Structure 1
Amino acid sequence: MKRLHERLTPMLKEWVEKGAPGCACTVVKNGEVVYQEHFGYADLDHKTPITADTIYRIYSMSKVITCVAALKLYEQGKFLLNDPLEAYLPEFKNPQVYRYNAFGLRNVSAASSPIRVKDLFMMTSGLTYSGDALETERLTQELMGKAHAADIRALSKALAAIPLAFDPGTHWKYGLSHDVLGALIEVISGQTFGEFLQKEIFEPLGMNDTAFRISEDKRARLCGMYDRSEDGTLTLNTTRDAVYQPGCKHESGGAGLLSTTGDYSRFAQALAQGGELDGVQILSRKTVQLMATNHLGPQQLLDYNWPQQKGYGYGLGVRVLRDPADGGSNGTLGEFGWAGLAGSWTLIDPQEQLSVVYMQQMLPSLEPYIHPRLHAVIYGALE
């Protein structure tokens, strides 16, 4: 695809000159790698270049893997999406909710309905991330300060003790739902979350560099994380790396994995090809379709109002393109994927047999600027 190289390469080089210290991008069409390039540095001080085997913190791109892993158990009849979560994680029985009256006064009362398993997939559970806007967020922030020392069952039980931000199923809010989904996988499978991922996804797909921990023999391949100031100055940031060290118990289904462009591209290719790659079936075609269907109602779509997601709905752990005109998008109706905190991004399009994996390590990531432009250029180069 000559046009893809002519358009994408200059844009990525410009981003490295003006933004991230390095980046990489892999595009696969009809099972063939049509673009695979990397630019800039993994370590600015030592001038270590980004290579094909550079390892990245993929943060929330972990969510797609977690949801696929859980859907494997769904396909085995181990749970149904409308099941109450308390049937598997009893700590979530009788959830409480923070409510506010017209004067802003807060009280706690019983939730109007239980959390369903699908509320974890859909981010409609009432669980949140850390923050200071809501009491649920504040208490979650206190808890997450110690989370790296706890396993995910302990985290799930601690989260269940915090009143929810809203009645389950009534709103959409980004949060720790997929971390709890990891705990659900542990309980149902009888394995640790990491063991289940390794056995059911990583080993079958040959994802040899995807894990929750960085081993000593791979440490030199881990890309540096950089903070970018308003004037473009880049500063190495190692404050977030404790969770990747050997001995850490926490396996975050929402943000904990490390991976490479090659590994994640194999995972994305499998989903683009109906759940199968090289004879390995990780999900059925129909379950991939269910995952990539918008599951949000009108109120939840109003909550899901990130600027870079305009025109998208939300499926089972993924954005789903539902209105290309509203989003100003040249993509295919139903294409799906997600992104990570430091700028990683994946796009999966079964209709076009297309998958894209982009990696970088920078905070803030400039996601609203970068990802829509990647999308426009890649679709604009399709023949």
Structure 2
Amino acid sequence: MKFILSLMVCFTLMACQSTVVDAKNTANAAESVGFSSQRLDRIAPAMQRYIDQGKLAGTLTLVARNGKIVYLNAQGMQDKEAGIAMTEDTIFRIYSMTKPVTAVAAMTLWEQGKFHMFDPIAKYLPELANMKVYVSGSGDDMIVEDAKSPIRIIDLFMHTSGFSYGFSNSEVDKLYQKMLSKPDELNRDNILTKFAELPLTHQPGTAWNYGVSTDIIGFLVEKLSGKKLGEYMQETIFSPLGMKDTGFYVPADKVDRLTQIYTADKTGQTIVMEKEPVGDFMSDPKIHNAGGGLVSTMQDYFTFAQMMLNGGEINGVRILGRKTVEYMSSNHLPKNLIPYSKTSQGEGYGLAMSVTVDPEMTGFMTSKGDFGWGGAASTYFRVDPEEQILMISMAQFVPIGFHRYHDDFRNLVYQALID
């Protein structure tokens, strides 16, 4: 079951004013919006080092400011073994970069008054009522207690719900792993009940823990819209924005554009990943994985991210209101939960995205209010409203962070600012 497997874990681009940016003219575009084209050219050799060292097969990087693309470069290979070069219209598994898209889909319903942030999720998905919380012990000796408060919808957006992913060796995650090891016993009718049978990692709202929270937001969208998640996304986001290559699977006539996916063997050498998360993306899954099931292209994700930077609108098409985007991209974590993880100093969390609250602590050049997220296969995006900068980097190596090329990319973007 593709959903279960996932839990274990251009052509021409258009600017927001519908102006076409030719890659040959990005140098002029860069200077016109306060970037040094010469300094932006430092990105290519930095990415090439990862390729030449055999760490990454290829990269696709984009930088935009004020709606103008100032840097766009495809390097290396889409598929080394097949000899297919990386191109601007390569299709990527974006995994957890699906989460912001799911959040936008949900927020279109929030704007219509279909739910409130502090509503208990059990109001809409009753399977998730009466949750238990882990206290101590393991196996038959595990001690749990009643949840002291219900899981609120905003807890799902912020990953403060207590749900997990099964990624660690914690006692709760061992239960996730055991459940997920029997995919034939899980289906759309019982998956929420199965989640509810597992204890939460902490009392709702008291800690940050990455897990299936956004997947559950996807079930909420389906319940409130009466449509399958991908169908609702297509009608409310993809079709209006012209995102032609984004969805929960790759049609047969586009499979040749889907990049190969890689990982590391026990010695750290890059190899083809044989059992990729979320299956092979070759057919429409029964469950649309709201937390990590989308594929997309640079064209499409640029359009989506620029819409967010523009305050919910691009090319005359409005998806969300300006204040809605501001709410999504604002930190909602209390001070005692910042940073949300030890490896994310200076970062708070908004709705399905991290948000920079203390730039001096991040270790990167950035701005307060910068927001974004990444995907398991080393896809990454950040939006900086203060500087009106958008950056996206695409690769296909699991896990993200094994080769921290996106850290280099982030600093290389900011060092090129000259205004």
TM-score interval, smaller chain: over 0.9
Give the CA deviation at 1:89.
0.5
Alignment coverage as a number of residue pairs:
379
Q: 1:243 to 1:94 in 2, by over 3 A?
A: farther
Q: 2:165–2:211: 8 Å Cα contact kept in structure 1?
A: yes
**C-alpha RMSD of the superposition:** 2.1
Counterpart for residue 416 of structure 2: 381
Counterpart for residue 295 of structure 2: 258
Q: 1:77 to 1:151 in 2, by over 3 A?
A: farther
Q: 1:361 to 1:287 in 2, by over 3 A?
A: same
Q: How does 1:307-346 map to 2 (within 5 A)?
A: 307=343, 309-346=344-381
Q: 1:361 to 1:112 in 2, by over 3 A?
A: same
Counterpart for residue 5 of structure 2: none
- Out of 267, 270, 286, the position equivalent to 2:307 is 270
1:98 partner SS: strand
TM-score scaled to structure 1, two decimals?
A: 0.93
1:366 partner SS: coil
- Out of 105, 115, 118, the position equivalent to 2:154 is 118
Q: 1:54–1:223: 8 Å Cα contact kept in structure 2?
A: yes
- Out of 34, 37, 45, the position equivalent to 1:10 is 45
Amino acid at match of 2:192: S
- Out of 50, 65, 88, the position equivalent to 2:124 is 88
Unaligned 5+ segments in structure 1 are none
Amino acid at match of 1:264: Y
Q: How does 1:1-383 map to 2 (within 5 A)?
A: 1=30, 2-18=37-53, 19-100=55-136, 106-146=142-182, 154-229=190-265, 233-240=269-276, 242=279, 244-301=281-338, 304-307=340-343, 309-366=344-401, 369-383=404-418
TM-score scaled to structure 2, two decimals?
A: 0.85
In the aligned structure 2, how far is the partner of 1:175 from the partner of 1:162?
A: 13
Q: Which moved more, 1:247-256 or 1:85-94?
A: 247-256
In the aligned structure 2, how far is the partner of 1:321 from the partner of 1:174?
A: 18
Q: 1:89 to 1:132 in 2, by over 3 A?
A: same
In the aligned structure 2, how far is the partner of 1:78 from the partner of 1:148?
A: 34
In the aligned structure 2, how far is the partner of 1:142 from the partner of 1:296?
A: 31
In the aligned structure 1, how far is the partner of 2:289 from the partner of 2:341?
A: 25
Deviations, residues 290-347 of structure 1 (Å, cap 9, x unaligned): 1111111234225x2242x221111111110111111133211101000011110001
Deviations, residues 255-285 of structure 1 (Å, cap 9, x unaligned): 1111111111110010011111001111111
Give the CA deviation at 1:242.
2.2
Q: What is the aligned-residue identity percentage?
A: 38
Q: 2:47–2:405: 8 Å Cα contact kept in structure 1?
A: no
2:41 partner SS: helix
Q: 1:151–1:251: 8 Å Cα contact kept in structure 2?
A: no
Q: 1:54–1:260: 8 Å Cα contact kept in structure 2?
A: yes
Amino acid at match of 1:258: V
In the aligned structure 1, how far is the partner of 2:298 from the partner of 2:184?
A: 26
Give the CA deviation at 1:133.
2.7
Amino acid at match of 1:337: G
Amino acid at match of 1:58: I
Counterpart for residue 15 of structure 2: none
